[in-house]
Amino acid sequence: MGMAARGRAQLAVVLKGSLYVARCTIAGSLAYTAANVVGLEHPVWASVSALVVSQESATGTYGAIWGRFLGTLNGVMAAVSIGWVGAALHLSLALQIAAGVALCAALTIGRPHIRVSLWTCPVVLATAAADAHPALVAISRVAEVVLGAGVGAGLALLMEGRYGSRVSFATHACRRWTGSSATRRDRKIGGKS
C-alpha cells in the first residue's frame, strides 16, 4: 500500500470516528431538548436512550434500537406487574426491586441485547414510589425511550445511512476530498485491475 493510499485510509478512520462523535453529541442534546419541549417528566432518559442506541455504524444503531425497545418493554411490564403485586402484599420497595430484577434477569439470560430491562424495572419502581403509579411512570419511560431512540436512529439515517451499507460516509467523503474515484476493490469489481 502506497503512502497516498495509507493516508486516505487513515483519513477515512478519522472521518468515521469524527462522524460518530458528532452523532452522539447531537443525539444526546437533541433528544434531551425534544423531551423537554414535549413535556416529558424526565428528559434525561430520552438523552440516555439516544446515546445507548448510537453505535459507530448506522447498521449497529438500527440493531441497538430493537434491543432498547424490547428491553424497555420487558422492564416496564415487570415493574408494573411487580408494583401491582407489591402494593397488594405491602412489600417494601427494596423487595419489589429485588423481585423485578430477578424476573428481568431470568428473562434476559442469553439475550444481552435486552438487558436494559435490568435497570428499567428498578427505575420505574423507584420513580413510581416517589411520584406516581407504576403504570404512569412506565408510559413515561417508554415515551422517553421511543423519542431518544428515534432521535438516535434519525441521525444515523441522516448522517450515514444515505450512503448505504457498502460505502460509508467516511469513505465517500475521503474519496470526494482526495479525488480518488474508486478503491482497489471497486476497480477489481469494475474489471479495471
Summarised one tens digit per residue, pLDDT across range 50-106 is 999 998 888 888 888 988 999 999 999 999 999 999 989 999 999 999 999 999 999
Residue 111 pLDDT class (50, 70, 90 cuts): very high
- Which residue shows C-alpha cell 478503491? 183
Max CA distance (Å), the chain: 75
- Report DSSP state, residue 167: S
Q: Which residues contact 171 (CB under 8 A, 6 or more apart)?
A: 12, 16, 183
So what's the pLDDT on residue 161? 59
Summarised one tens digit per residue, pLDDT across range 133-170 is 788 888 988 999 999 999 999 998 888 755 444 344 44
The answer to whether 35 and 145 have CB atoms below 8 angstroms apart is no
The answer to whether 19 and 120 have CB atoms below 8 angstroms apart is no
- Which residue shows C-alpha cell 434491543? 67
Summarised one tens digit per residue, pLDDT across range 25-53 is 999 999 999 999 999 989 999 999 999 99
pTM over 0.85: no
Render the burial of 46-63: b for 16+ CB within 10 Å, e for the rest. bbbbbbbbbbbbbeebbe
Residue 13 pLDDT class (50, 70, 90 cuts): confident
So what's the pLDDT on residue 162? 53
Would the pLDDT of 176 be above 80?
no
Burial class, 155, CB count within 10 angstroms (exposed 0-12 / middle 13-18 / buried 19+): buried
